[in-house]
Structure 1
Amino acid sequence: MGVEPDARAPRAGGEGAPQVGGERAPQVGGERTSRAGGGRRGRLRGLRRAVLAALVTGAVVLPLSAAAQPRTPAPAPAVLGPLTAATLDEAYAANRAAAAEASRMAAAHGDRQRAVADRSLAEPSRHLLAFDGRGTGLATEVFGDLVHAERVAVLVPGSDTGLDTYDRFRTAARALYRELASMSGGAPVAVVAWLGYETPGTVSTTVATTGRAEQAAPRLREFVDELRGILGRSARIALVCHSYGSVVCGRAASGTAADDIALVGSPGTGADSAAGLHTRARVWAGRSSGDWVEHVPHVGVDLFGTTVGLGADPVSPAFGARVFAAGDGGHSDYFDPGSLSLTNLARIVLGETEEVVTHG
């Protein structure tokens, strides 16, 4: 019912470093700041304006070309009953079988990349609570002993995460699991990699709005409720939400059965404050000094009935979250082994709130 830690720890930085999603700094194309703007402050203002322009363009102007592209065929998801401790093994086996069939269909279609990704998910060592190979693909994978875990982290990814890029997300989940296992003092822990929604593209018509998050939020709340049915009453659940995944967690916060919500590299939640999330969970926020998300404008612009922008900055004092230190890495470096951000996230999941570093 569990997954043993992988003995091969990913390298910190460079190829193989944990990445939750494929998000990179938006290319805003040659935008230059007037020298009259005054040094670094002027350059930052120029960058914010450029990023806002890119977000508005992505939300309103970019064509929906992906909809016209042929999609790799895949079987419908396995039909399963409610998840319980007694049905976990059945769910794992059924979803591995679905991934194997999806791999065969992708290979027959000529999509070698997807065939390889699906075949990897079908390996006997994988523990899939859910799998859907259609479209960009969905998967929910368990690391650790879910039945007996006392502390569970649900990792929610950001943009550009699908089955074709799933290994990056999985590497981050494994890194968090290893960190929890090493710090838990032998207490059973688990991490669930929840790719349970269709993530937006980093530069797309959807990444600057809460639309995808609104669609995903009920699914995430339902999944956390299912976890509660599997876990013991004393177990605690933390949502660890990276980038656009923090928008999903923000929209799911009201009514969620999670105990903690950690927003990592967040562009916003769609709310003006932590109180505006209407959750009983403790709300945390952290952003590294090298994360380009710092320069995303925290605005809301009404365009053709759609609000473009994701609201207040979660690490600002006015937002009211518990801010934790996240080091000096980039947007995809929060789960690097040995990083301050990974250590702090593990402390949050383990409930070691007094040990969380809040500055430095």
Structure 2
Amino acid sequence: MASRPRPSRLRRALLAMLVSASVAVPVSGAARPADVPAPAPTVRGLPHAATGPVLAGRYATTRADMEAAARAADDHGDRKRAKALRDLAAPHRTFLTFDGRGGGRTVEVVGDLARADRIAVLVPGSGTSVDSYWRLRSGAVALQRQLGGRSAVLAWLGYRTPATVSLAATTPKRAEDAVPALRTFVRELTRLKPTARTSLVCHSYGSVICARAASGLRVADIVLYGSPGTGYDNAAELHTRATVWAGRSSGDWVADVPHTELELPFVTVGFGTDPVSPEFGAKVFPAGDGGHSDYLKRGSLSLRNIARIVAGDGSCTQQTGDTSCVN
């Protein structure tokens, strides 16, 4: 007869699942909506050049694809999805890629990509979808405004995020599935903008994806914020030449997530070492006192410091003034 697991192990597993699932709650309070039909995209991948005319043509194509997806959602009877898609297709919005199938995949450009010499690729966490896109968009706009001219923020919704409260949000499976798409996107972006200073800016569950995709990517920085862990013991295991940064605000309950990995029979639960701990070895930046969803809030300390990192400033703002970031 097989021996029963120790109670302490069961408690740790249960705690890891319950608390880690709460990582996603502030990102979206609603359950992920069911998928609706959508036509295949007209174009795939990034355009052949980042000139104004080429980008304008691409933005027009993705806008037309969104309008077609909105009509399909209307035909399916999903008015909420149709409205969300028409909001994305507004004339002032600019999307490099769009695929309405499988819940939706998008890459939105905030700023002037043609002229940008500083680029942030914003990778969101759990609960983000076409239907709950506003928070990702808001953060991208705030970061680009903080960066100022000759910058662009690319909001990369390139994977099917886990539901807000689910076992999937406590395990690396969705992150592993997302890695090839993020790697391909960053490599195509590097080809498109070879002289730009590019950084990965990764929130919550998105930090798990960035860590797994890091090896071999030509990026200057990898910024992990509100991270429950990465699945690695330390930053060196990411095998990247990029500077790895980590930040957590004092009001973020991710600090209460058990920083452990439990190997269960068919799944790994948890993400291991705390990225802001000395053991992980990232460069830690001050992130203020906001909540889990407040890192890119206008006027916040965390937004200012993330923008400084993306800009290559090399310094951070403390509550009382400017100083170098500390490990």
TM-score, normalised relative to structure 1: 0.78
* Distance change (3 Å), C-alpha of 1:53 and 1:208: closer
1:110 lines up with 2:72 in the alignment: no
For these two proteins, the number of residue pairs brought into alignment is: 299
The structural deviation recorded for 1:241 is 0.3
Match runs of 1:221-236 below 5 Å = 221-233=183-195, 235-236=196-197
Whichever residue aligns with residue 18 of structure 2, its letter is A
What is the aligned counterpart of 2:265 among 304, 313, 318?
A: 304
What is the aligned counterpart of 2:199 among 223, 233, 238?
A: 238
- Once residues 193 and 126 of structure 1 are traced to their aligned partners in structure 2, the CA distance between those partners, rounded to angstroms, is 12
1:332 lines up with 2:293 in the alignment: yes
1:75 matched to which residue of 2?
39
Match runs of 1:280-295 below 5 Å = 280-295=241-256
What is the aligned counterpart of 1:148 among 93, 115, 118?
A: 115
1:266 lines up with 2:231 in the alignment: no
1:348 lines up with 2:309 in the alignment: yes
- Once residues 17 and 105 of structure 2 are traced to their aligned partners in structure 1, the CA distance between those partners, rounded to angstroms, is 31
Gaps of 5+ in 1: 1-46, 59-65
- Once residues 141 and 56 of structure 1 are traced to their aligned partners in structure 2, the CA distance between those partners, rounded to angstroms, is 28
The structural deviation recorded for 1:136 is 2.1
What is the aligned counterpart of 2:129 among 137, 146, 162?
A: 162
* Distance change (3 Å), C-alpha of 1:319 and 1:70: closer
* Distance change (3 Å), C-alpha of 1:56 and 1:263: closer
Whichever residue aligns with residue 198 of structure 1, its letter is R
* Distance change (3 Å), C-alpha of 1:259 and 1:356: farther
The structural deviation recorded for 1:49 is 7.5
- Once residues 134 and 227 of structure 2 are traced to their aligned partners in structure 1, the CA distance between those partners, rounded to angstroms, is 21
- Once residues 67 and 312 of structure 2 are traced to their aligned partners in structure 1, the CA distance between those partners, rounded to angstroms, is 38
Match runs of 1:15-54 below 5 Å = 51-54=15-18
Match runs of 1:198-237 below 5 Å = 198-233=160-195, 235-237=196-198
Shifted more, 75-84 versus 296-305: the winner is: 75-84
- Given that 1:55 and 1:203 are in contact with CA atoms closer than 8 Å, whether structure 2 keeps it comes out as no
Q: Deviations over 1:76-117 (max 9, x none)?
A: 122346522253223211111110011111122221111111
- Once residues 193 and 81 of structure 1 are traced to their aligned partners in structure 2, the CA distance between those partners, rounded to angstroms, is 15
- Given that 1:48 and 1:295 are in contact with CA atoms closer than 8 Å, whether structure 2 keeps it comes out as no
What is the aligned counterpart of 1:99 among 42, 66, 70?
A: 66
- Once residues 142 and 256 of structure 1 are traced to their aligned partners in structure 2, the CA distance between those partners, rounded to angstroms, is 20
The structural deviation recorded for 1:232 is 4.5
Q: Deviations over 1:14-53 (max 9, x none)?
A: xxxxxxxxxxxxxxxxxxxxxxxxxxxxxxxxx9886325
Greater RCO structure (CA 8 Å; 6+ sep): 1
- Once residues 304 and 202 of structure 2 are traced to their aligned partners in structure 1, the CA distance between those partners, rounded to angstroms, is 15
- Given that 2:69 and 2:100 are in contact with CA atoms closer than 8 Å, whether structure 1 keeps it comes out as yes
- Once residues 265 and 188 of structure 2 are traced to their aligned partners in structure 1, the CA distance between those partners, rounded to angstroms, is 38
Gaps of 5+ in 2: 1-10, 23-30, 319-324
TM-score, normalised relative to structure 2: 0.86
- Once residues 125 and 168 of structure 1 are traced to their aligned partners in structure 2, the CA distance between those partners, rounded to angstroms, is 18
Find the residue that maps to 1:212 and give its secondary structure: helix
- Once residues 180 and 348 of structure 1 are traced to their aligned partners in structure 2, the CA distance between those partners, rounded to angstroms, is 10
